[in-house]
Structure 1
Amino acid sequence: MTANLQISQLVVNRLKNLKDVCGGGLFGLMYSKNLIIMGFDLESSDILNFKKMQDNFPTETDLCGLFKFGECSDTEAHMQEILACVDITDNPILLKCSHKGDEFELKASQYRNGKLVEIEYEVISEEILYRQFFYARLLGYVEIAIDNNVKSIKNEFLNVRKKLASGNVIFQCQDHRIFFDTDKVIGLNQEAVMLDLLDVLKVKKQDEGKKSKKEQIPTDFTTININCLIKKSDENEKNSRAALNFVLERNRILIPIKIDAIAALHINTKTMALYDILVESLCRTLRLVEENVLEQTEKVSVPSTFHFKPDNFGHFYTCIYADSTPDDEKHLTSKRRELHQQLGIALTRPVFRRSNNYNFSVTNSSLLVNPHVGLKSSVIGGKQSLVQGKYTYHHYMQDNFNDDGWGCAYRSLQTLCSWFRFQGYSSTKVPNHEEIQRYLVKVGDKPSNFINSRQWIGSMEVSTCLHGFMNVDSRIMHVTSGSELASKGSELAYHFESQGTPIMIGGGVLAHTILGVDFNSNTGELKFLILDPHFTGSDDLQIVQNKGWCGWKNSSFWDKTAYYNLCMPQRPIMF
């Protein structure tokens, strides 16, 4: 039976942005009677290289077809070639893409009995993706002893994978007595689906009082953590050693490996299927680690796992980097360049540096992430230009720190810093008020008694701190009055379209964060998307949005008698 075809809206958006590309591989996930395309890679030659990337995609996201721009004479030959590599469907997909002026056209076909048959498809919105799919993150630890030669490395990693795949592991949901074994689920009904598991895991969060009165429109996938536990060997095994406890011989190298693997799952997948999926996740990450160890030509260094999820990408992509190899080392720079090209990502912004590693802990943070999502503006004929990527909302009274009445610019600076952390431009933590004050004293901007004071800062100090903490330069826009801001629609729209960073604006005794504009260039009507740091309540999305602490404001929001300085951070050009 052929599956119903679905395509992630994010995949469609990425394909639209490609120019003069012949094609590449499609990666998708099967669930129920559906096949959903979640990602793709680009092929730069006649030799398909999708096999090199399969293990970097999340488990369950597998090769499922090809896409092509324009007419390609080798299409059917390539479909025959991938047929032997496609495991999730008997009918690989071909997407034919074309640009006709400003229009983008996409047609889908299935490969059936040696022929391409055109089929219908459904585009799945980003919001539905985040509601219908989630990720299981598998965490554990193993040690592998090797001789420093290719044969030993391959043999030892193969032996470990065989042991793991033969039932020597059991999996546990973190903080819950729910276990997944080879033939049963402990702590859940055997007929349960993943949605039931998610409901059980959410109970604790609700009991802790963290449930918001207004559900925030999802902007990312839910992730659950799973522990990988190594079973003890049979009693007959010498010394009753754990299956992966290796005896070290002279001159052998012991490699400690932190298991960190992810799998993409649909909420209606049976929980009984999770064991085999997690075993495959374990094997995938070990194959990636093995590849990294084989690449190390000199002294073997500990390999570490990094999961990346670029903005508007729609899925994770995993890389293994040796701890001894710095980001700017030539070999690693070359690998990142190749990845950017294979995945159709511009070389102007970092995506696969260590600092871009996805921060799973943020999903459990009490801070609101992107509270502007879901807000609607009302500029007739206007075009919205918004902040690109994620940030956290920082405001008065957070962190058990009373800055009511003086800390608004500090909080706006924290929001800006969170944006640069999220986008991977910096791994520096968001500074607190004292750290900000100490830095301004250190660079000679303020006297020593400024530390631990309740003195305000403005746009210039924010710019100075952004450079000091995040190594980011800023452009400063001066306006003589609030009414002058009404004429800055084009400049602000260009900033959000080209830079995409939040803007700190200070004027009089107040500071705010601008997250976007809605501008009608014909009529001049302009609205500002404002994040207000003067809020003193709890991080409740309903209050923040309904009371206007994050919302669209017209030009009358600004004081006509006050001058304003806008700190407009500029993205560093790097990859």
Structure 2
Amino acid sequence: MSGGKIYKFIDTLQKRLQQWNFQNSKKGIIFGYTSALQNNCCYCMGCTENLNDIPFGNNLIGAYFLESFDEDSIVVFCNELSKNKTSGKLLVYNYNENIEKISLFDIKSKKLIDYTIEIVDHQVALEPLIQIKLDVNFKLNISFEDSTPTTNISSIIEQLNSWIFRLDMSSFKINGKEENLNGICIEDLYNQIEQFEELQDLQIPTNMKKKMIEKSQRQLRSRKSILQFKLDNNIEKSDSPEKFEENQKYDFIFNLKMFYLLQLQNNLQQLYKIFINSLTKMLTLMQKYFDDNPEKKCPLQIPQVVNFYEPNIYTHIITILYHDLDSIEIYKDQRKSLHLKYLVPMSRPTFKLANAIGRDFSGKKLMNVHVGLQSSIKNGQCYIVKGKYSYHHYNQDHMDDSGWGCAYRSLQTIISWFQIQGYIDIETVPTHKEIQQALIDVGDKPPNFLGSSKWIGSQEVCYVLSHLYDIQSKIIFINSATELLDKARDLIKHFSTNGTPIMIGGGVLAHTIIGVDFNEATGDVKYLVLDPHYIGDENLNNIHKKGGCAWKPVTFWDKNSFYNLCLPQVSEDF
């Protein structure tokens, strides 16, 4: 009936379609990829409103309809989508009033056929994929004579097919003329990497060095490390002017970064085409921006190519050209359009610049140090902090706060979460003195509190979050640590909705809870604890060995002490 094809729908896509408050997005397209290892298997990865918005490396798979559509309307829409094809099928996903209906549209007969999809965990669909980065520098000429911007972008687009791309840490290159690239797949690129910093200065026999290189290549492959390409003879990036003035000409190096999720089995000819097509699209959009805005007055900013990827929400990379970022309203409108275009819930600031791939707020601090830890609760289900945070602990930043600074460090970790997720626009988390000053400003502490080594607790953490960032928190009071057994469901609900780190304080100790592992049948529970009392270097193995981050039973806390938990709340706003 389906030509032997199996359509695998990822769980996060099904959830988005079923929970979407569709507004204008009542129908659209489903995109994904056909498995190179299983020709009869198609993974449905995402959805969008228009064909032109399919992420690079994905193809049209089908269509979605989110209210009652009669069969004729569905056929008309699918027929329009497939007008350039004479045969094949499109998956049709129809969801209305809690009823899910699946069918296939046969392009040749133009008829709908009943069908059943298979729902799979999104990690299953991501397993055959690898992330690739393209980092390109090129000369951009821009003139603002008579306030009308003119550029050399069109001539750059004409030259794209002659560009050659070199694999980073390798001499391997790809271009559009190499016919033999069809026989080489992306996975083979790991064997081309030969420049490893740890091996450069070693004076060892050639055969031994070769074995060490091969071992390093296997390690990169097993970790599915990002493969990076640069334009051959890539010129050094120069600082572009922050603002462009009227009646001036500029010649500078423009940096453009693109990210892709592609199958390891894709051949390099396909990869090259994806590079060229994506660069063409982004540069064309940039040229269109200048052409459509001749009245733009100086000074103005150059548009930015920005990449987003949040696999727990949407399992594909979204690349966008942001412009006029100095305008709050234009920035907001562009972000809103992405939420609507890809049916991403507008309850979180998913497409703020802070969430772009490559943005780093951690400095020298480690991020998400819990990754890789396994809980020991039998048949338990884990509920973990959503997003990223940086790990703050004793004696960082040349600050000796051993014995009194644990709550300050827990607060810094919480604030880093809000910063990294884009809820607050700050460059750095507050220092101990800035935290103390905030408590003085709200009237909670006297002036001599500034510069002291006095401990703070959960209530003070709530005051600072509210005063500095207008972040509201929920407080849970418990008379004994044993009551944490009864609070597992409250914390599960918190991580399932808000997803922020939780500060727990009692006695003279403070910790950060970033996860719950709970067995519904037995009531067994463990909490994932980020310990600010850790003293040591920023080494993940040491942090895990010394308990800087670990799963803890309720007995980890003193049963004879009372505790307060500060649960920071997120605002429902994109």
TM-score, normalising length: structure 2: 0.75
Partner residue, 1:303: 303
Mapping for residues 123-522 of structure 1, pairs under 5 Å: 123-141=119-137, 142-145=139-142, 157-165=153-161, 167=162, 169-184=163-178, 192-198=184-190, 204=196, 223-229=226-232, 257-296=254-293, 297-299=295-297, 301-310=301-310, 311-323=312-324, 325-326=326-327, 328-329=328-329, 331-359=330-358, 361=360, 367-369=366-368, 371=370, 375-376=374-375, 378=377, 385-396=383-394, 404-431=402-429, 435-441=431-437, 444=440, 445=445, 451=451, 455-467=454-466, 470-518=469-517
The answer to whether the 8 A contact 1:504-1:511 is kept is yes
Partner residue, 1:38: 45
Residues 383 and 67 of structure 1: CA distance in aligned 2, closer, same or farther (over 3 Å): same
Count how many residue pairs are aligned between Structure 1 and Structure 2: 529
The answer to whether the 8 A contact 1:368-1:541 is kept is no
**SS of structure 1 residue aligned to 2:256:** strand
Q: Structure 1 CA distance, aligned partners of 2:48 and 2:158?
A: 30
Cα distance, 1:528 vs structure 2: 2.8
**SS of structure 2 residue aligned to 1:431:** coil
Cα distance, 1:251 vs structure 2: 5.7
Residues 123 and 365 of structure 1: CA distance in aligned 2, closer, same or farther (over 3 Å): farther
Cα distance, 1:549 vs structure 2: 4.8
Cα distance, 1:111 vs structure 2: 3.6
Residues 117 and 461 of structure 1: CA distance in aligned 2, closer, same or farther (over 3 Å): same
Q: Give, as a single letter, the amino acid of the residue that structure 1 aligns with 2:566.
A: C
Cα distance, 1:40 vs structure 2: 0.3
Partner residue, 2:31: 27
The answer to whether the 8 A contact 2:406-2:533 is kept is yes
Q: Structure 1 CA distance, aligned partners of 2:502 and 2:84?
A: 48
Q: Structure 2 CA distance, aligned partners of 1:417 and 1:199?
A: 42
Q: Structure 2 CA distance, aligned partners of 1:207 and 1:414?
A: 38
Partner residue, 1:236: none
Q: Give, as a single letter, the amino acid of the residue that structure 2 aligns with 1:478.
A: F
**SS of structure 1 residue aligned to 2:316:** coil
Q: Structure 1 CA distance, aligned partners of 2:462 and 2:177?
A: 58
Q: Structure 2 CA distance, aligned partners of 1:202 and 1:460?
A: 54
Q: Structure 2 CA distance, aligned partners of 1:375 and 1:132?
A: 23
Q: CA RMSD in A?
A: 4.5
1:553 equivalent to 2:549? Answer: no
Q: Give, as a single letter, the amino acid of the residue that structure 2 aligns with 1:342.
A: K
Residues 164 and 520 of structure 1: CA distance in aligned 2, closer, same or farther (over 3 Å): closer
Cα distance, 1:505 vs structure 2: 0.9
Cα distance, 1:501 vs structure 2: 1.0
**SS of structure 2 residue aligned to 1:95:** strand
**SS of structure 2 residue aligned to 1:351:** coil
1:77 equivalent to 2:79? Answer: no
Residues 178 and 427 of structure 1: CA distance in aligned 2, closer, same or farther (over 3 Å): farther
